[in-house]
Amino acid sequence: MVYGKTGGTRSSKCVHGGATFIWPVIQDYQWLDLTPLTLNIPIKDALSKESIKMETHSTITVGISTEQGIIENAAERLLRLNQKSINELACDITIGEIRKLIAKLKIAELKADTELLFNKISDVVNSGLKEIGLKLISMNIKSITIDRDFIPTNPAH
């Protein structure tokens, strides 16, 4: 990442797979580690649309996006952070996005089609991570637990 006076409206310029000249005094550079991060995502006491408690445990792998427009977000938001801070930020965003999605769904929707649920989770997590320059590489939903005290009601009666 080159930063300082880079021309245009951006505060940085990303060079991926190439080289560039750094103008001393008006520019500087810093490397941005593209190594993927594996994160454990435990979510406790998330509430569904019907206010039923759920717990999920997932493992995700994220990395710095190399897509134009998104990698610049990484340069602006992650450049001076250490790996631990990036991990925490990615975890917080992922947990928040999954909680928001669960709050919009009914238990029946969560149980009905696990592939659709997986795709919805992937979409919302990717959308949140993109804002800081990360992308979801893979996700493994290890468990989804619904509150045992939940007693389904029969709307036919």
Is 140 within 8 Å of 58 (Cβ atoms)? Answer: yes
Specify the CATH number of the domain 32-146: 3.30.479.30
How far apart are alpha carbons 143 and 124 in whole angstroms? 19
Name the packing angle between helices 114-130 and 83-104 (round to 10°): 130
What is the average per-residue pLDDT within 21-38?
80
How far apart are alpha carbons 76 and 56 in whole angstroms? 31
Q: Which residue has the higher pLDDT, 99 or 11?
A: 99
Q: Give domain limits for the chain.
A: 32-146
pLDDT tens for each residue of 100-125: 999 998 888 877 777 888 889 999 99
Question: Which range has highest mean pLDDT (93-102, 104-113, 138-147)?
Answer: 93-102
Tell me the pLDDT of the chain averaged across its residues: 84
Q: Which residues contact 119 (CB under 8 A, 6 or more apart)?
A: none
Is 94 within 8 Å of 41 (Cβ atoms)? Answer: yes
Task: Please report, as a single letter, which amino acid is at residue 141.
Answer: I
Is 93 within 8 Å of 128 (Cβ atoms)? Answer: yes
21-30, 87-96, 118-127, 130-139: the lowest-pLDDT one: 21-30
Q: Which residues contact 123 (CB under 8 A, 6 or more apart)?
A: none
Model confidence band, residue 157 (pLDDT cutoffs 50, 70, 90) = very low
